[in-house]
Amino acid sequence: MERKGYVNIGYRLADEKGMLLFDGIIALQGEGPFKVVPSICDATKDPILATTPVDKGMIERRNEYLNILINDSKKVVGILTDDEHNNNWLKLPPQIAIYPENYVHKKLNVSRSIFQINNGAAGDPYYGQEILSWSKHTQSFSVENTLCLFYVDADNITMKVYNPDILNLIDEMKLR
């Protein structure tokens, strides 16, 4: 039986200080031998996708998304993500460093604070916390299975994080 397919493998490369230098995808396509097609985010160069320079890479697309959530709307309080296999949250204030040291492209003006809440701790085994320019602002890092519950009462928003297997409270915080 002939089989064809593809898979994308993500990778990150950091310097000795833990600053993100490259963030990319290796695309394996066809029947094999597979062709490796790197996508690279280099803070000092234009983004590259499958060896072709593009106008917007990962950081530029992230900035467009954050601009909509932070600057174009005053209603968004937080972003719920699950791309890392752990539970953590951070408050993203205007003064937080969200770029590599050598980033030469246009930077986003963060006009107000917003929360990023990562709830990816159910599923594959966890992996350790990545070291990024904003890592020191990360709060309540947990590798237990987690469930985030949000309680909304008029303008007040509270988040409680539970381990759904044993029902213990891991974290509780007021978002607004």
Supply the pLDDT for residue 159: 93
Give the whole-angstrom CA distance, residue 175 versus residue 159. Answer: 7
The two structure tokens encoding residue 53: 């320079």
With H, G, I as helix, E, B as strand and everything else as coil, classify residue 61.
helix
* Reported pTM: 0.67
Task: Quickly tell me which residue has 């007040």 as its tokens.
Answer: 156
Number of residues written out for the chain: 176
Instruction: Give me the residue label for tokens 């890392």.
Output: 84
Closest CA to 93 of 77, 79, 73, 114: 114
Q: What does the pLDDT look like over 105-130, one tens digit per residue?
A: 888 898 999 998 888 776 666 666 66
42-71 pLDDT, tens digit per residue, is 555 556 665 666 777 777 888 888 899 999
